[in-house]
Amino acid sequence: MLEQIVIVGLGQAAVQAADTLRRKGFTGKLTLIGEELWPAYQRPPLSKKYLAGSLSAERLALRPATFYSQHGIELKLGCRVREIARGDQRVGLEDGSQVPYDALVLCTGSRPRKLVADGVELGGIHYLRTIADVDRIRAGFAPGKRLVVVGGGYIGMEVAATARELGLEVTLLEMADRIMNRVTCPAVSDFYSMEHARRGVQILCNAKVRSFRGEAGAVRAVLTEDGKEHEADQVIIGVGVVAADELAVAAGLECANGIVVDEYCRTSDAAIFAAGDCTNHPSPHYGRRFRLESVDHAFEQGISAALNVLGIPTSHHKVPWFWSDQYDLKLVIVGLSSHSDTVVLRGDPSSRSFSACYLRGGELVAVDTVNHPKDQLAARKLIPEHARPNLERLADPAVALRDSV
């Protein structure tokens, strides 16, 4: 009999799990524990509209302030979980208090990967993950200020676009040979490089940071391995994230690039479930394990975890999708392209509306769309169906993606 459920974390997966538990009839004690002082909020706008100052912190909230009290959810903000005592089925907080559980759901998310370099502790060097991070960054933003962004992934590219629109001088350093190299094909990378360059962002690839130079405790330049020095009033580091699985590791749960869960979101402890960015989960569709950083994935896995906690067997098997807003360009990625063997472009990138389709053994496994909602919607139906399109029809933008099969 479940009487007490505890959810550690306060992001998309956590809130969706709590919402699902109440909607499906759980009437016992439900506690959400979060390290930040804010109730659950959206993170994607942090590098875009919130950084730009066009969206208030209040509008970031995932649920209205009344949601928690109306649903009888005890909200513990600014609380850090110190340990999971699996034998006693309780979590211990840093203030010494204990919270018992019959079932525990870990939604601890991810944290920025730290860059190791001399001078990285200088003032003005930031990571972007929380509202507090953005508030500190924005305080130093002003037209003409020099910003160096380290990392050409989603966060780095979005920050570069936002800062440039605010009038900052932006240099982006990427250690690989192209931007967004882990998630897109060269054609999409090239398109975004040209769009950023057209707006005045200086993108330098094959640029590995060696150290940071400062004056009076504040960063003034970034030095790269090629001996060049890039002046900076501020630096934002976006070199990826890692799973926030320290609690799980310390508790002896199986972890490997995240908290290892089965298709029912259950960890190696039958009373503990996990959902969101922190999980290493199996994908029945792709036939291998992943750890994903995706709002949609966190949302869906939060639902699945809650249902399984309640004894409603639910396999988590959704095909993931991701998005990135840069300037007036919306990149939507459906599926996972990492193991593809063929790329087919639909449309001309110069039109600023096109798609890149990824296949493996003739099967459509992923689609990147740029300002092309019709292809995006079609991809979300075709990929789960293991569609095998005709390549000539696939490459013809006059043929609807859904009709290429």
Same domain, 138 and 212: yes
Q: DSSP 3-state helix, strand, coil percentages of the chain (rounded to 5)?
A: 25, 30, 45
Which of 237, 272, 297 is at the close of a domain?
Answer: 237
HEC assignment per residue over 22-80: HHCCCCCEEEEECCCCCCCECCHHHHCHHHHCCCCCHHHECCCCCHHHHCCEEEECCCC
Residues 51 and 89 grouped into a single domain: yes
Q: Is residue 316 part of a domain?
A: no
Domain assignment of residue 120, yes or no: no
Same domain, 24 and 84: yes
Whether 191 is covered by a domain: the verdict is yes
CATH of the domain at 363: 3.30.390.30
Distance of alpha carbon 158 from alpha carbon 129, whole angstroms: 13
pLDDT at 286: 94
255, 277, 309 — which closes off a domain? 309
Position 322 in a domain: no
pLDDT at 83: 97
CATH code for position 180: 3.50.50.60
Q: Please tell me the total count of domains within the chain.
A: 3
Q: Residue 127 half-sphere exposure, CB side, CA atoms within 13 Å?
A: 14
Length of the chain equals 405
In a domain, 131, yes or no: yes
Residue 246 domain flag: yes
Q: Are residues 229 and 148 in the same domain?
A: yes
Shared domain check, 246 and 102: yes
Any domain includes 303 = yes
Domain's final residue, options 255, 281, 309: 309
Q: What is the pLDDT along the chain (405 residues), one digit of tens a residue?
A: 899 999 999 999 999 999 999 999 999 999 999 999 999 999 999 999 999 999 999 999 999 989 999 999 999 999 999 999 999 999 999 999 999 999 999 999 999 999 999 999 999 999 999 999 999 999 999 999 999 999 999 999 999 999 999 999 999 999 999 999 999 999 999 999 999 999 999 999 999 999 999 999 999 999 999 999 999 999 999 999 999 999 999 999 999 999 999 999 999 999 999 999 999 999 999 999 999 999 999 999 999 999 999 999 999 988 999 999 999 999 999 999 999 999 999 999 999 999 999 999 999 999 999 999 999 999 999 999 999 999 999 999 999 999 999
The answer to whether position 398 is within a domain reads yes
Q: By residue range, what is the domain housing residue 305?
A: 4-111+241-309
Q: Which is nearest to 238 in space by CA: 152, 138, 148, 123?
A: 152
> Is 225 found in the same domain as 191?
yes
Q: pTM, whole model, 2 decimals? A: 0.95
